[in-house]
Amino acid sequence: MTTTVTERREPAGAPPGSGSRRLTERVFRVRESGIIAVLLVFVAVTTSIQPSFLNQQNLQFLLINTTVYALLALGETMVVVSRNVDLSIGSILGLSAYVSASMFGHHPGIPIPLVFLIGLGIGLACGMANGVTVAVGRVPSLVVTLATLYIIRGIDILIVGGNEVTAQTLPNSFTNIPRATVAGIPYLAIAIAVVIGIGAYYLRAFRSGRELYAIGSNPEAARLAAIPVGKRIFTAFTVSGAIAGVAGVLWAAQYQTIDSTAGTGYELTVISAVVVGGVAIFGGSGSAVGAAVGALLLSSINSALNVLGFPQLWLEAISGFLLLLAITLDRIISVRLTTALRRRSPGVGT
Amino acid sequence: MRAVTDATIDLYAGEVHALLGENGAGKSTIVKILAGVHQPDSGEPLIDGQPVTLHSPAGARDAGIAVIYQEPTLFPDLTVAENIFMGRQPLLAGRRIDRRRMHADSAALFARLGVKLDPGRISRGLSIADQQIVEIAKALSLDTRVIVMDEPTAALSATEVARLFDVVRTLRSGGAAVLFISHRLEEVFEICQRVTVMRDGRHVLTSELAGLTADDLVRAMVGRQMVERGAGERGTAGELVLRVEHLTREGVFTDISLDVRAGEIVALAGLVGSGRSEVARAVFGIDRYDAGRVVMRGRELRRASPTGAMAAGIGFVPEDRRQQGLVMDMSVQQNVALASLGRLRKAGLVRSAAERAFAADWAVRLNLKYGRLVDPVSRLSGGNQQKVVLAKWLGRQPALLIVDEPTRGIDIATKAEVHRLLVQLARDGVAILMISSELPEVLHIGDRILVMREGRLTAEFGHSDASEEKIMAAATGQLQEAS
Amino acid sequence: MEPDPNTRAAPGPATQSPAAPATGPAGLLATAARGSVRWETGLGLLVVAIIIFGAVSSPQFLTSGNFFNTGVTSGEIAIMALPMTLIIISGEIDLSVASILGMSSALLGVLWSHHWPMLAIFVVVALLGIVAGLINGLLVTRVGLPSLAVTIGTLALYRGVALILLGANTVSNFPATYTNIGVLPLPHTQIPWNIAIFVVLAVIFGIVLHATATGRSLYAMGASPQAALFAGIRVKRVKTMLYVVSGLVCAMCGVLWTFRLATAVQNNGLGLELDVVAIVLLGGVSIFGGKGSLAGVVLAVIAFAGLQNALLLTNFNQEATGIVIGGLLLVSVFAPNAGRLWRLGPPRWARGRGGPASHSDPGSRSGPAAPSGQHSPAVGSGT
């Protein structure tokens, strides 16, 4: 993920300042494609050592594992880009997973889409609670979502009691969702990729999406520019919650045994993935695609460790190290970029 | 207490109208009302004879009013074009943003203004002057009728000011009404046609500028004749306190050598951006330098060590009062004591009674106007805030006091107090290095005047042979002789 | 001609002090006196309410045996909250605390299973804590990274190291002299060892925070890092020291935890970091930095421990105490300070050095070097 920032002499007659634009575009495209490049390199290297890394079964497994994280990364990206953070997604996922999956036990024959709707509804409600508190109360999202992390997990524990949902209670049509494939690729992975694509496109090409970036880039200016800050932040948290709700249902279909610990700790992993994927922790820049690739990268490392015979327990340390590496490189690049840009902006007449 | 009472200003299309007044006269309240940030208790703005209520920044924008602040508020991570059109981006089918058109529209705006800026570049790293141009382009894109400029030139270099004024003239010819707020009278005379002066929340004068003199304006602002006092006789300079030898920082300043003696005020003049603040910060240890040395009273200072500089007896009043000079959330008393905590200790512990007494003592000496010592310093006026910063450093009894733009953004009466204070300090034996962009100030109290241009010292003048023309010539490179 | 209105502008002996109104709590609290005194009073009332609730709902609540048990189980969290308080006040955050605890526990287990002498183990574990804190501190101060992101990374890294060190093993054959920490109180009292440690540390940290120059400087750094720098405060050095202290304290907690449970296992302390942050915030410390008191955090510790214990005794599902904690957290930010806090913007540790901390790029104030050859006059005045 290294990149060199080179100075360019502008040829006479070049459009003013276009050198700086090309420079920034190049650097930012590098950041987004950098993470993709790292992923590809990593996959290539691992496959060359152990070709079975890319075999059908392994790939399916990898893709499925990633879907939940990638989905969560999409929601978290929307929130982080606006200079907020959603720590409650793990708890929302857990609550949704249990409640929706236990529906099968309480109401046998319940149609699966309804179960998804229930999960979505739970996530939506939690997300709206977060959104209202942060947007209307104007209180720091870290504290609010930390509080809701506790509260929602507490509700989950109360509802779960000492029980758990086990695989027997779940119908095959449900548990097969993560496994159904077309041409060897799981349907689910394709669906999630499409959703992420839509999400990323929304953030890039629609006014309200761009306003999220504006809010993250300079909240004061956003207010002065008459951007409906409260409304946008509310939407971001609502979507993040809803996504976590849906992710919970998928999680249940995937892992099939759900107790009150489902989803614990996911929030920090997702934030890691998002930051590794190029989203600035203080908002204003980054893309959902990058974040999803970050999640994919972390999953790939997990899978690679498995395939290459390394003990699984190296994963945590590696992912922590990767995050530190990513933000350090980002910082170095950003410092060089700002200095280079300032030298190109003499302010007058050029 | 009312901020503004019965203020009436008429702005005509195609005119630049100056709004003058000391700090606390009510100018910023008017700006905030026009910006939709505050609501007036009675009366309302009329546009084209129709009353408008400005409930919010959005309301002000819709009414055709744009405010350009001294420090523009852009989105650093977004492109210039996005900054201009945020929230109003041109759309394609399906409500998707039309980037190509946004870019083209931005370029057209810049062409209209006669400036060259690339709409596709990220706004991070733009100079303040460029940021203002982007704000103006934004205002233009909104078909603004009234443009309010709040101290727009405070942070601009002379060339940038000239460019800004060209833009303002373009706006004028386009039929906009411009309300121009400034402390700098020479600019007012250059660009404005009419002027309104406010004092104590009321307007006291509205007239055409032609036929008025600076004195007339000052008198209206202050309410009494302000006599520029001479600084008093200059004593002879004492022993050498500061010696800077061949200080160099790549790309910022080169081969700076200067002396400051006890009892003298050395003024460092030059254009904004000539590297003066950087030199001062390097001497104090906030910034680094690549070559050369700084010697205080015979001892060389370690680089990049403010602690070392302070221990050697240097005090530093920085340029940016609010971000660098004061901790705005802390109380007056805490701010005054902040640099002297070591001395207020007893058995390693700091006692707040000692803090309070220390601060109270300095408040009296500097004639500080405040509510209570425990009030947050943000409640004080600009002039009094500057006094707190001075108190903080004077409390350490420095041998060398570096002041960077000591009277920027301060009302005239406090300005005079600060000047008197500096002169008295010099008489008491303190060595003073003053950075200033205000020539009258430089000439008024500087014993020796050094001029920097693009990172180098280009001239040195004694008090008697200095003049505004000579200093400006040296600052802009028209003088052939070196220091 | 009016006389010079200002005969006292020049420095000279002060003639009299202006009337300084007598305010209650001295020093630092005086500024936010109203805000924080209100908060700590509220906390105090809360503690009383919890004690009453506990006493009413269970006859065992006010027994010394119960007090001992409570102290034992919450000791480490309480201790970790102390350096966290200072870190948050200084404008940063440390989410790696529980991982450092886990890592030290794992190291302790590994070394012990290799028959190292216990004293040597203590030294090495302490060094580990110092190094872990140093890494945090250097990444935040020298590289200039936002501490939220850094400590999320080191949270994973250090937990990973714990995993690597100990794997799936557990080590439990510690000698009774050490594991008795979790069983026996201080001689002649009913006070558990880790509460005694907590009290001693709380006093030390409290004195440092509220009565030393360093403590003052923490508040300055949190409220306005630039101004602190310009006042000659060595921000980088102090912050690095804070992280090192935090690392050392957490390493010690790792040892305490291991002995208390008599087991070293890699997931010791998993997930505790958020509890620690919650307690500090409950204590009235502002997440933005620059405000808060140690007394508030101590009260919050008591409230947290008391609550957990009271609910445990009443057979309320103990895990669901999270709901109460979460609720209290929300209250803590909706308290009077909330409105003022928002105007200040997001916390510094989320902004990062290179982030847009204010509207304009402060560096561009001095402007780029004036372009050559195109000068026009008017250095701010004159012609």
Which domains does chain C show, CATH number per domain?
68-338 (1.10.3470)
Specify the number of domains making up chain A.
1
Mean pLDDT in residue range C215-243: 94
In a domain, A2, yes or no: no
The predicted pLDDT at position C29 comes to 44
All residues of chain A having their beta carbon less than 8 Å from the beta carbon of residue C152 are 268, 271-272, 275, 323
Residues 6+ apart with CB under 8 A from C363: A338, A342
A87–C contact, CB cutoff 8 A: yes
Nearest alpha carbon to residue B109 among B75, B79, B85: B85
- For residues C173 and A306, the model is more confident at C173
| Inter-chain touch A221–B127, beta carbons under 8 Å | no
| Inter-chain touch C14–B365, beta carbons under 8 Å | yes
Interval B341-385: pLDDT, tens: 888 888 778 888 888 999 999 999 998 888 888 889 988 888 899
Q: For residue A93, give its domain range.
A: 19-343
Mutate to test the interface with C, among A20, A98, A142 (most CBs of C within 10 A): A142
Is 90 exceeded by the pLDDT of residue A196?
Answer: yes
> Could you give the percent of chain A with pLDDT greater than 90?
39
| Inter-chain touch B116–A25, beta carbons under 8 Å | no
Which tokens sit at B7?
């203020």
Residue B174 · residue B167 · CB < 8 Å: no
Q: Which of B42-51, B229-238, B281-290 has the lowest mean pLDDT?
A: B229-238
CA dihedral B372, B378, B383, B389 (to 10 degrees): 90
| Inter-chain touch B159–C374, beta carbons under 8 Å | yes
All residues of chain A having their beta carbon less than 8 Å from the beta carbon of residue C139 are 324, 328
All residues of chain C having their beta carbon less than 8 Å from the beta carbon of residue B252 are 369
The predicted pLDDT at position C200 comes to 95
| Inter-chain touch C350–A282, beta carbons under 8 Å | yes
| Inter-chain touch A207–B121, beta carbons under 8 Å | no
All residues of chain C having their beta carbon less than 8 Å from the beta carbon of residue B428 are 11
The predicted pLDDT at position A18 comes to 55
The predicted pLDDT at position B266 comes to 94
ipTM of the complex: 0.82
Interval B67-108: pLDDT, tens: 888 778 899 999 999 999 998 888 888 889 999 999 999 999
State which amino acid sits at residue B40: P
Average pLDDT of chain B is 84
Give C148 to chain A, closest Cα distance, Å. Answer: 8
The predicted pLDDT at position C327 comes to 85
In a domain, A140, yes or no: yes
Nearest by CB to B364, from C17, C30, C376: name it. C17
Mean pLDDT in residue range A274-285: 89
All residues of chain C having their beta carbon less than 8 Å from the beta carbon of residue B318 are 230
Q: Which of A195-209, B35-49, B453-467, C239-253 has the lowest mean pLDDT?
A: B35-49
In a domain, A6, yes or no: no
Nearest alpha carbon to residue A4 among A332, A345, A348: A332
All residues of chain A having their beta carbon less than 8 Å from the beta carbon of residue B87 are 207, 211, 225-227
Q: Which of A117-131, B273-287, C18-32, C144-158 has the lowest mean pLDDT?
A: C18-32
Is 60 exceeded by the pLDDT of residue C358?
Answer: no
The predicted pLDDT at position C345 comes to 54
Give A81 to chain C, closest Cα distance, Å. Answer: 12
Q: Which of B438-442, C8-12, C112-116 has the lowest mean pLDDT?
A: C8-12
In a domain, A348, yes or no: no
- For residues C334 and C219, the model is more confident at C219
All residues of chain A having their beta carbon less than 8 Å from the beta carbon of residue C333 are 137, 139-140, 143-144
**CA atoms of B246 and B257, how far apart (whole Å):** 5
Mean pLDDT in residue range C288-299: 92
E strand segments, C194-347 = 264-265
In a domain, A349, yes or no: no
Is 70 exceeded by the pLDDT of residue B22?
Answer: no
Mutate to test the interface with A, among B121, B148, B164 (most CBs of A within 10 A): B121
Q: Which of helix, strand or coil describes residue C171?
A: strand
Q: If you measure CA to CA, which chain B residue comes closest to A220?
A: B73
Q: What is the DSSP pairing of strand B65-68 with strand B146-150?
A: parallel
Q: How confident is the model at residue A223 (pLDDT cuts 50, 70, 90)?
A: confident
The predicted pLDDT at position B374 comes to 87
Q: Which of helix, strand or coil describes residue A85?
A: coil
- For residues C33 and C5, the model is more confident at C33
Interval B116-153: pLDDT, tens: 888 988 888 888 888 989 998 998 888 888 899 988 87
Is 50 exceeded by the pLDDT of residue C375?
Answer: no
- For residues A8 and B380, the model is more confident at B380
Is 60 exceeded by the pLDDT of residue C11?
Answer: no
Rounded to 5 degrees, what are φ and ψ at B261? Answer: -105, 160
The 3-state secondary structure of chain B reads CCCCCCCCCCCCCCCEEEEEECCCCCHHHHHHHHCCCCCCCCCCCEECCEECCCCCHHHHHHCCEEEECCCCCCCCCCEHHHHHHCCCCCECHHHCECHHHHHHHHHHHHHHHCCCCCCCCECCCCCHHHHHHHHHHHHHHCCCCEEEEECCCCCCCHHHHHHHHHHHHHHHHCCCEEEEECCCHHHHHHHCCEEEEEECCEEEEEEECCCCCHHHHHHHHHCCCCCCCCCCCCCCCCCEEEEEEEEEECCCEEEEEEEEECCCEEEEEECCCCCHHHHHHHHHCCCCCCEEEEEECCEECCCCCHHHHHHCCEEEECCCHHHHHCCCCCEHHHHHHHHHCCCCEECCEECHHHHHHHHHHHHHHCCCCCCCCCCEHHHCCHHHHHHHHHHHHHCCCCCEEEEECCCCCCCHHHHHHHHHHHHHHHHCCCEEEEECCCHHHHHHHCCEEEEEECCEEEEEEECCCCCHHHHHHHHHCCCCCCC
**CA atoms of C150 and A330, how far apart (whole Å):** 12
| Inter-chain touch C317–A157, beta carbons under 8 Å | yes
Q: Which of A56-60, A299-303, B73-77, C119-123 has the lowest mean pLDDT?
A: A56-60
Q: What is the DSSP pairing of strand B194-199 with strand B177-181?
A: unpaired
All residues of chain C having their beta carbon less than 8 Å from the beta carbon of residue A220 are 345, 359
| Inter-chain touch B319–C375, beta carbons under 8 Å | no
A339–C contact, CB cutoff 8 A: no
Give B114 to chain C, closest Cα distance, Å. Answer: 17
Residue that has been written with the tokens 């600035």 in this structure: A280
Q: What angle do CA A45, A47, A50 make, to 5 degrees?
A: 115
Burial class (CB in 10 A: 0-12, 13-18, 19+), B368: buried
CA distances from residue B99 to A18, B203, C127 in whole angstroms, order as listed: 16, 46, 56
Q: How confident is the model at residue C202 (pLDDT cuts 50, 70, 90)?
A: very high
User: What do you get for the CA distance between the two ends of chain B, in Å?
Assistant: 53
| Inter-chain touch B224–C374, beta carbons under 8 Å | no
State which amino acid sits at residue B245: E
The predicted pLDDT at position B347 comes to 77
All residues of chain A having their beta carbon less than 8 Å from the beta carbon of residue B82 are 210, 214
| Partners of residue B243 on adjacent β-strands | B259, B295
| Inter-chain touch C377–B273, beta carbons under 8 Å | no
Q: In order of start, what are the domains of chain B with their CATH numbers?
A: 16-74+126-222 (3.40.50.300), 228-313+398-483 (3.40.50.300), 326-391 (no CATH)
All residues of chain C having their beta carbon less than 8 Å from the beta carbon of residue A311 are 164, 167
| Inter-chain touch B120–A227, beta carbons under 8 Å | no
> Could you give the percent of chain B with pLDDT greater than 90?
34
Is 70 exceeded by the pLDDT of residue A348?
Answer: no
Interval A100-157: pLDDT, tens: 999 988 888 889 999 999 999 999 999 999 999 999 877 889 889 989 998 999 899 8
Residue B204 · residue B21 · CB < 8 Å: no
Nearest by CB to A320, from C156, C333, C364: name it. C156
Query: How many interface pairs between B and C have CB atoms less than 8 angstroms apart?
Result: 255
Is 60 exceeded by the pLDDT of residue C304?
Answer: yes
Rounded to two decimals, what is the model's pTM? Answer: 0.81
**CA atoms of B369 and A165, how far apart (whole Å):** 70
Q: Which of helix, strand or coil describes residue C207?
A: helix
| Inter-chain touch B121–A347, beta carbons under 8 Å | no
Average pLDDT of chain A is 84
The predicted pLDDT at position C62 comes to 76
All residues of chain B having their beta carbon less than 8 Å from the beta carbon of residue C18 are 360, 363-364
| Inter-chain touch B95–A222, beta carbons under 8 Å | no
In a domain, A223, yes or no: yes
Q: How confident is the model at residue C372 (pLDDT cuts 50, 70, 90)?
A: very low
**CA atoms of A339 and A331, how far apart (whole Å):** 12
Q: Which partners does chain C have (≥3 C-beta pairs < 8 Å)?
A: A, B
In a domain, A243, yes or no: yes
Is 90 exceeded by the pLDDT of residue B188?
Answer: no
Mean pLDDT in residue range B295-313: 92
In a domain, A237, yes or no: yes
Q: What angle do CA A68, A240, A170 make, to 5 degrees?
A: 40
CATH of the domain at A182: 1.10.3470
| Partners of residue B350 on adjacent β-strands | B345
The predicted pLDDT at position A131 comes to 96
| Inter-chain touch C369–B274, beta carbons under 8 Å | yes
All residues of chain C having their beta carbon less than 8 Å from the beta carbon of residue B392 are 231
All residues of chain B having their beta carbon less than 8 Å from the beta carbon of residue A218 are 73-76
All residues of chain A having their beta carbon less than 8 Å from the beta carbon of residue C149 are 275, 281, 323, 327
Is 90 exceeded by the pLDDT of residue C130?
Answer: yes
Residue A208 · residue A232 · CB < 8 Å: yes
| Max mean pLDDT range (A311-315, B218-222, C325-329) | C325-329
| Inter-chain touch B74–A25, beta carbons under 8 Å | no
Is 70 exceeded by the pLDDT of residue B205?
Answer: yes
Give B187 to chain A, closest Cα distance, Å. Answer: 19
Burial class (CB in 10 A: 0-12, 13-18, 19+), A106: exposed
| Inter-chain touch B338–C231, beta carbons under 8 Å | yes
Nearest by CB to C370, from B186, B274, B351: name it. B274
| Inter-chain touch A217–B75, beta carbons under 8 Å | yes
Is 60 exceeded by the pLDDT of residue B186?
Answer: yes
| Partners of residue B344 on adjacent β-strands | none
Mutate to test the interface with C, among B132, B157, B322, B373 (most CBs of C within 10 A): B157
Rounded to 5 degrees, what are φ and ψ at B149? Answer: -115, 115
Q: Which of A332-336, B333-337, C7-11, C177-181 has the lowest mean pLDDT?
A: C7-11
